[in-house]
Structure 1
Amino acid sequence: MNRTLYYRRRLLNRFCLLVSCLAMLFGLFWLGWIFFTLFSEGLSGLGSHIFALDTPPPGMEGGLRNAIIGSLLITFFGLLIGTPAGILCGIYLAEFGQRGWIAPATRFMNDILLSAPSIVIGLFIYELWVVHQGHFSGWAGSLALSLLVIPVVVRTTENMLRLVPNSLREAAFALGTPKWKLVTMVTLRAAKTGVLTGILLAFARISGETAPLLFTALNNQFFSTNMNQPIANLPNVIYQFAMSPYEDWHQLAWAAALLIALTVLAANIAARYLSSKTH
């Protein structure tokens, strides 16, 4: 009886393992196909002109300089706005929110914001900012992206601070360290690598977002660094050029998609490396 049960469990284990491996191979097949298509189509469009020329009219030579600079500006200010708010909220949840209802409610709202569709965020900023300003702008795009940054940074900061041993806190308190100095000089410093990992993950999260920028930053076919006006960005250029009937625009769209994919890949690799350093 025991031998029969043993063989049945072993057979079930092998079957489940086989199904898991097939599911993994199925997912990797499509992922590999996507990467192969992206690299095969995008590499042919990369060149020095991509970084030296602006987006062209149909049939003319051009590049992606204005879109690259615009994306960097929008993403940078999005991180600059969202990161401090996310870190401060994560500090409160990990260090000050042990009692009361505020911390659980904040976690619940953060989880909702973390899973909210980005197009909803873009529509919210459109109603809140763009309608009242009367025009699209890079600042509106950065504000929309910052709302996507905050929940990622909050979750990572809280988790990393909770991994800091309580013995460090007790030792600091034994020396008469005030709470604010304990947080800034002890726990946050001990978790700085993990917090930086969260910031990189947030950067990877917002790098390719298109929907929020359609409602906020829109696009600009000219080179501009004026964040108070519509500004070019890679996601919207990809959307516009890929939907066009012009082959030269398709090539630029593939090149822009490859640039975003490589940026996100580099950010994820850096985040993985920093995460491994914390263990």
Structure 2
Amino acid sequence: MSTTVTTHRPRPTAQPTTLRARRLPRYAAPLIALAALLVAAGIVYGTGIGGPVLVVVVAALLYLAGLFAAANAVEGRRAARNRTWSALIHSAFVLAVLPLASVVWTLVSKGVERLDGNFFGTSMNNIGARDPNGGAYHAIVGTLEQVGIATLITVPLGILCAIYVVEYGRGRFSFAIRFFVDVMTGIPSIVSGLFVLAFWVLIVSPMVNDGRPGFSGFAAALALSVLMLPTVVRSTEEMLRLVPAPLREGAYALGVPKWKTILRVVLPTALPGIVTGVMLAIARAAGETAPVLLVAGGGAAINVNPFENNQSSLALFVYQQAGDASKYSPARAWTAALTLVALVLVLTIAAKLLARRNRLGR
């Protein structure tokens, strides 16, 4: 009786697999950027074909090409494409931020010269070309009153119009509202000023002003409200459409009326976006010059009554001072521009904080 002996051959040992792919070191990208900047500066300044702007452009192109070549050699083609597109997106972000940073730096550096009590406490009344004093108190008062009145007129009207279009509007009337809102979005500011001038200043106000045209801050507020209305309506409409339908359906299922659902559920949910749209409209209105010049006339004296006599604004003050021949006018113009930007920024932050507080309170 024979027995068969089975022998087991040893299996070949498997080679260890590397789980980590090769990657560029962290210092590679900064080194490539520095090299690209030096090469671009040598090319541009060596040939004398441009200045700093061209150096930045050429350096960006060289950086993208060098980053792709280095990543392709170390990490592979797929990772190289990913790094290149990421760098391109970051470069686009930097290019978008640079103009804003330049504007802010210019405003701050040139606007601090007249940041004093005289600028914020006096007007330009009886200020001559050789007088270094004079301020924008009358323009600040005019801006606050005109924009405030325009906001009080526009915001309720715009929100109610958007609620009708989204919640109730059907058929041709709703389509006509959307169409005219789109048309009003592209209206130049001078057109709104001419409209208020022809209708309110030359037709309506003479009826109660002994036949004289009534230039006033209120007329400027009406012109600004024409510019603000399409922005408020369109932004509110888009925010209301983003409110999820189950929120409405849940309220209806509990027996809540439609008007109360809109008031208690829809509007609080869309409030942050609505506030953003309103602040965009306010920022645009605060920076308009042509409507105020046409229907308010401007002025150097302080006028706290928006319904009588001429009234100025910060935007109009900047325009007038920028064209003045006095050597002290540019400093006033830059400080007024800085004040206008700071005013809009403060209003925006305050509105955002108020909207956030109301939302958390609910």
Per the normalisation by structure 2, the TM-score is 0.67
Higher RCO, 1 or 2 (CA under 8 Å, sep at least 6)? Answer: 1
**Contact 2:292–2:312, Cα closer than 8 Å, also in 1:** no
Alpha-carbon shift at residue 12 of structure 1 (Å) = 7.3
Identity of aligned residues (%): 40
SS of match in other structure, 2:328: helix
Name the structure 1 match of 2:147.
75
Alpha-carbon shift at residue 250 of structure 1 (Å) = 1.8
Alpha-carbon shift at residue 52 of structure 1 (Å) = 1.2
What is the correspondence of 1:74-113 to structure 2 with a 5 Å cutoff? 74-97=146-169, 99-113=170-184
- Greater helix proportion: 1
Q: Does 1:124 pair with 2:195?
A: yes
Deviations 1:66-116 (A, max 9, x none): 11111100010010111111010011111112x312223212221221222
Change (3 A) 1:128 1:39: same
Name the structure 1 match of 2:327.
247
Q: Does 1:52 pair with 2:121?
A: yes
Change (3 A) 1:246 1:270: same
Change (3 A) 1:42 1:170: same
What is the correspondence of 1:1-279 to structure 2 with a 5 Å cutoff? 24-55=93-124, 56-60=127-131, 61-97=133-169, 99-132=170-203, 133=205, 134-227=213-306, 228-268=308-348
Q: Counterpart of 1:229 in structure 2: which amino acid?
A: N
Change (3 A) 1:80 1:159: same
Alpha-carbon shift at residue 274 of structure 1 (Å) = 7.8
- Larger deviation: 210-219 or 236-245? 210-219
Tell me how far apart the structure 1 counterparts of residues 293 and 316 of structure 2 sit (CA, whole Å): 7
Deviations 1:42-77 (A, max 9, x none): 011111112211123322322111111111000100
**Contact 1:203–1:267, Cα closer than 8 Å, also in 2:** no
Per the normalisation by structure 1, the TM-score is 0.85
Tell me how far apart the structure 2 counterparts of residues 276 and 24 of structure 1 sit (CA, whole Å): 28
**Contact 1:197–1:274, Cα closer than 8 Å, also in 2:** no
Tell me how far apart the structure 1 counterparts of residues 248 and 94 of structure 2 sit (CA, whole Å): 46
Tell me how far apart the structure 2 counterparts of residues 192 and 20 of structure 1 sit (CA, whole Å): 31
Larger radius of gyration: 2
Aligned-CA RMSD value: 2.8
Alpha-carbon shift at residue 135 of structure 1 (Å) = 3.4
Alpha-carbon shift at residue 273 of structure 1 (Å) = 6.9
Tell me how far apart the structure 1 counterparts of residues 102 and 156 of structure 2 sit (CA, whole Å): 38
